[in-house]
Structure 1
Amino acid sequence: MRQPRIVIVDSAGPQGLAYGRLVARLQPLEVRHTSRVAEGIDISNEDGFDLAILVLRAGDSNLTTLDQLVEADPDLPIVVIGSDDGEKTVSDYLRHGAATYLPLESVDHDLEDILVETLTQSRQRATEQTLRRAIERPYSFEDFLGESPPMKAVYSLIERVAARSVDILITGETGTGKELVARAVHRRSRRIAAPFVPIDCGAIPDTLLESELFGHERGAFTGADARRIGLIEVADGGTLFLDEIAELPFALQAKLLRVLQERRLRRVGARKETPVDVRIVAATSRDIDVMVENGTFRRDLFYRINVVRISLPPLRQRGDDIGLLAEFFASRAGREMGLSAGRFSADTYQVLRHYNWPGNVRELQNVIRRAMALTADDVIGVDDLPDNVVTAAGKYLADTSDQLKQGSPSRAGFLTLKATHVAEFEQHYLHEIMKRLHGDVSAAAKEARVPRGTLYRLLKLHNIEPSRFRHDSNNTESN
């Protein structure tokens, strides 16, 4: 998820912000300051601001200024900080569109809590609006969810090439959604009324693949008791999606190339060729450029299918989308399981954000479904996530901790520093309790007042082996 963005409008300018240190404690934040309302409106009109803070000092045209901001963006939450002049009540500000009101003298004490609460509500509303748009809009990219720059670039490319009859190559890691792209291209093309025919080139044995693609005549080979139409003919007039095309046997690559060049095919055992009109959308998770250089994939076929290439980013490069996708999958799993929509603890968000996701969106979906099935309440905690996810994310946070020790902690964000200190505390606590109780996990869990499974998970996260403390105990006793 991207960092929250706040605009502050204060006639005294940045130097008048005595509460700036509180905002700094909530890092990572993007904060924009201005002393002029008009500039604040221009800033808030930029895409993606989560909150506005309007500081009204003596002499400011209080409600008029608030009205101008509300009119510019009715959906932007506005926290009003004002000096109590006795003329305006809290209800006046709320009635004119403020999300909340805070007296200037209460800033040091209350601002941090108000910002956290308002930002949380703002991000939740933004997520719900995105989900509603994804559900309500007619086919645009309804099978996709994500607003990160890499995905917006993919959407833009699909829109530009879908209606043009060119063959397309989709590349990306397993689980990134290559078939979703192919279906989006088909649905936005002039071939939408014709068939969309997918075939996984890596899932069909080589001995059957030729017949599956090109069809055969009766008696063409042993067992060919009747004519069979191949999938290329089935897709006539429509789109043929060749998933994992890099797995296509070399001999069939030449035959497919002829179909693309001549727009005709010959069934196995046939004497005559049959005209076909298909659009090829191919996909692969392998490095097909290297295969071409190594001679394991035909260069001429590669040039034929690589007219337009759509490269899908892995989930780890879609940071803005991970939280949104997790919320979506939790909501969908909740409906399917008859549960309330799951929420995520702050620590869970940190783990999801910093895991590498080698299985990409498909892996995230499975992890969230598992968590929804296991969680005992409405909040999905770290204990509900698989061990490998927690361990890998923990290693990232540990590496971050080491970097912070060597660098300047003030440059790190609030959540990163919090996670670092929590990890250091956990490691020290676990080491001491294991040492004192000689590696007895059951006794340690009882003393720590946590489930034994949770303690095992924490020990694994911090690479602490209970057996080592039992060995240390035995050595001490023998001495």
Structure 2
Amino acid sequence: MRQPRIVIVDSAGPQGLAYGRLVARLQPLEVRHTSCVAEGIDISNEDGFDLAILVLRSGDSALTILDQLVEADPDLPIVVIGSAEGEKNVSDYLRHGAATYLPLETVDNDLENILAETLTQSRQRATGQTLRRAIERPYSFEDFLGESPPMKAVYSLIERIATRSVDILITGETGTGKELVARAVHRRSRRASAPFVPIDCGAIPDTLLESELFGHERGAFTGAEARRIGLIEVADGGTLFLDEIAELPPALQAKLLRVLQERRLRRVGARKETPVDVRIVAATSRDIDGMIENGTFRRDLFYRINVVRISLPPLRQRGDDIGLLAEFFASRAGREMGLRAGRFSADTYEVLRHYSWPGNVRELQNVIRRAMALTADDIIGINDLPNNIVTAAGKHAQHDPNELNKNLSTGDGFFASKAKHVAEFEQQYLHEIMERLRGDVSAAAKVAKVPRGTLYRLLKTHGIEPSHFRHD
């Protein structure tokens, strides 16, 4: 894992006292320096920078500079360093996009902890380009927004089989993205210019499903006043996506099998068969192998649709993909609601990572959208998440005996591991001190022996609202 890269914007130049002290504290990290705001913006836009440090001088237009930096790169965390007197403007700095404010007098004591905390924000920046590509090219593999080994295996399989004329079975839990996979296969196939026709076999009553799939002739049954083309014919030349195929009743399983064998179908009430050229991509969240064994799904139909099987992993097995997806959904919800893209506190990331996500990606999307609607800040804290998720995630984390081994095996290194455990301590400490002092930030800062601005920054990072502790 590479060392973080820092850009320092300081109008006093390399001769400034702050520069020497900062570089001494930042070694051996890679540091770039500029005394020009415009140049600092250009540097910050270079790939791979993790943090910007803005050193304020007397006469500097702090909010204007912040606005310029944020406009150039909204994903880059910015630490503002200034005099102790500048703490009275902390709320303004935070409102204009700063991650935190640090008095120059406390640099020696606080800078290392701040760097550790911003590693989480740096991960957000690392995913920023991926998110933008996904927004600009919504039908690319970035639709899945997954970089975990199980998802990379899925992408590789899609690429290999998309252009081959074989039927496909997609298996996976509800909400894992089976239709996304089906659409990706279709787009990369030789049938991409022809229709992609989806149907949820479990959502249509059995009495209507045959007509929906196969069509009917005029007068075939009561109410059939005109000929209707079924979805299999609509998909002619293209791809028919049969979602939840395990819900098909036995009679329709037999009729579908004939279509796959003969590539011909008979509309309800028709005398003649109609030739069709369609690729079948089927999907199920059921244990289809077990259904074959107990006789509720036809073995011969299974062999026809299971030429290639794509098994989608549940979200809980996708590791860091959870954070990537959360960032994407927050960005999209922010655009739809007219809000800035929300950032996540370190403890919120831990909750998302430890929760089991039985509803998979669909559940995560709904949770993030809810959090964006409820949060009163740019930072999404655990108070913005449903209580049942926070509770369940906490129980899972408490019973994880391999947590230290995970820290060592992820390759995040000392700073990232330290940041996680520091965040856990900070969360507990801040809750206790806010509860004891009933949300009085000034009194809490004195008890904690930290500047009030630092305490405000910590409270914001962890999504803790002091007013919630002010009891009557």
Q: TM-score, normalised by structure 1?
A: 0.65
Q: Distance in 2 between matches of 1:313 and 1:384?
A: 27
The Cα of 1:132 is off from its aligned counterpart by 2.1
Q: Which residue of 2 aligns with 1:268?
A: 268
Q: Which residue of 2 aligns with 1:247?
A: 247
The question of 1:329 aligning with 2:325 is answered no
Aligned 8 A contact 2:322 2:353 in 1? yes
Q: Distance in 1 between matches of 2:185 and 2:165?
A: 10
Q: State the secondary structure of the residue aligned to 2:399.
A: helix
Q: Which residue of 2 aligns with 1:169?
A: 169
Q: Distance in 2 between matches of 1:134 and 1:155?
A: 15
The Cα of 1:220 is off from its aligned counterpart by 1.3
Structure 1's 427 and 293: CA in aligned 2 closer, same or farther, altered over 3 A?
farther
The Cα of 1:118 is off from its aligned counterpart by 6.4
Q: Which residue of 2 aligns with 1:291?
A: 291
Structure 1's 326 and 138: CA in aligned 2 closer, same or farther, altered over 3 A?
closer
Q: Distance in 2 between matches of 1:336 and 1:134?
A: 16
Q: Which residue of 2 aligns with 1:126?
A: 126
The Cα of 1:426 is off from its aligned counterpart by 9.3
Q: Distance in 2 between matches of 1:431 and 1:383?
A: 15
The Cα of 1:258 is off from its aligned counterpart by 0.4
Structure 1's 146 and 268: CA in aligned 2 closer, same or farther, altered over 3 A?
same
Structure 1's 232 and 310: CA in aligned 2 closer, same or farther, altered over 3 A?
same
Q: Distance in 1 between matches of 2:155 and 2:395?
A: 34
Superposed, which structure 2 residues align to 1:391-470 within 5 Å?
391-400=391-400, 403=401, 413-414=417-418, 417-418=421-422, 451=468
Superposed, which structure 2 residues align to 1:67-466 within 5 Å?
75-77=47-49, 112-113=112-113, 115-116=115-116, 119-120=119-120, 122-137=122-137, 139-400=139-400, 403=401, 413-414=417-418, 417-418=421-422, 451=468
Q: Distance in 2 between matches of 1:292 and 1:168?
A: 17
The Cα of 1:410 is off from its aligned counterpart by 10
Q: Distance in 2 between matches of 1:77 and 1:268?
A: 64
Structure whose alpha-carbon radius of gyration is higher = 1
Structure 1's 7 and 333: CA in aligned 2 closer, same or farther, altered over 3 A?
closer
Q: State the secondary structure of the residue aligned to 1:282.
A: strand
Q: CA RMSD in A?
A: 3.7
Q: Which residue of 2 aligns with 1:90?
A: none
Q: Which runs of 5+ in 2 are unaligned?
A: 5-25, 32-45, 52-77, 80-105, 409-413, 438-464
Q: Provide, for residues 72-92 of structure 1, a one-character-per-residue CA deviation record: whole Å limited to 9, x for no partner.
A: xx744599xxxxxxxxxxxxx
Aligned 8 A contact 1:347 1:382 in 2? yes
Aligned 8 A contact 1:409 1:417 in 2? no
Q: State the secondary structure of the residue aligned to 2:228.
A: coil
Structure 2 letter corresponding to 1:128: G
Structure 1's 331 and 242: CA in aligned 2 closer, same or farther, altered over 3 A?
same
Q: Aligned pair count?
A: 350
Aligned 8 A contact 2:329 2:365 in 1? yes
Q: Provide, for residues 237-279 of structure 1, a one-character-per-residue CA deviation record: whole Å limited to 9, x for no partner.
A: 1100000000000111011000000000011111111100000
Aligned 8 A contact 2:3 2:30 in 1? no
Structure 1's 352 and 261: CA in aligned 2 closer, same or farther, altered over 3 A?
same
Q: State the secondary structure of the residue aligned to 2:320.
A: helix
Q: Distance in 2 between matches of 1:293 and 1:236?
A: 33
- Using the aligned pairs only, state the percent identity: 78
Aligned 8 A contact 1:220 1:268 in 2? yes
Structure 1's 121 and 427: CA in aligned 2 closer, same or farther, altered over 3 A?
closer
Structure 2 letter corresponding to 1:451: H
Aligned 8 A contact 1:397 1:419 in 2? no
Aligned 8 A contact 2:195 2:234 in 1? yes
Q: Which residue of 1 aligns with 2:56?
A: none
Structure 1's 337 and 198: CA in aligned 2 closer, same or farther, altered over 3 A?
same
Aligned 8 A contact 1:6 1:52 in 2? no
Q: Distance in 2 between matches of 1:426 and 1:285?
A: 43
Q: Which runs of 5+ in 1 are unaligned?
A: 9-50, 57-73, 80-98, 101-105, 434-447, 456-479
Q: State the secondary structure of the residue aligned to 1:240.
A: strand
Q: Provide, for residues 171-212 of structure 1, a one-character-per-residue CA deviation record: whole Å limited to 9, x for no partner.
A: 111111100111111111111111111000000000111111
Structure 1's 328 and 240: CA in aligned 2 closer, same or farther, altered over 3 A?
same
Q: Which residue of 1 aligns with 2:456?
A: none
The Cα of 1:425 is off from its aligned counterpart by 6.7
The Cα of 1:363 is off from its aligned counterpart by 0.6
Q: Distance in 2 between matches of 1:404 and 1:162?
A: 39
Structure 1 letter corresponding to 2:297: F
Q: Distance in 1 between matches of 2:398 and 2:232?
A: 52
The Cα of 1:395 is off from its aligned counterpart by 1.1
Q: Provide, for residues 272-314 of structure 1, a one-character-per-residue CA deviation record: whole Å limited to 9, x for no partner.
A: 1110000000000111111111111000000100001111111
Aligned 8 A contact 2:48 2:126 in 1? no
Structure 1 letter corresponding to 2:379: V
Q: Distance in 1 between matches of 2:234 and 2:179?
A: 18
The question of 1:6 aligning with 2:10 is answered no
Structure 1's 331 and 186: CA in aligned 2 closer, same or farther, altered over 3 A?
same
Q: TM-score, normalised by structure 2?
A: 0.66
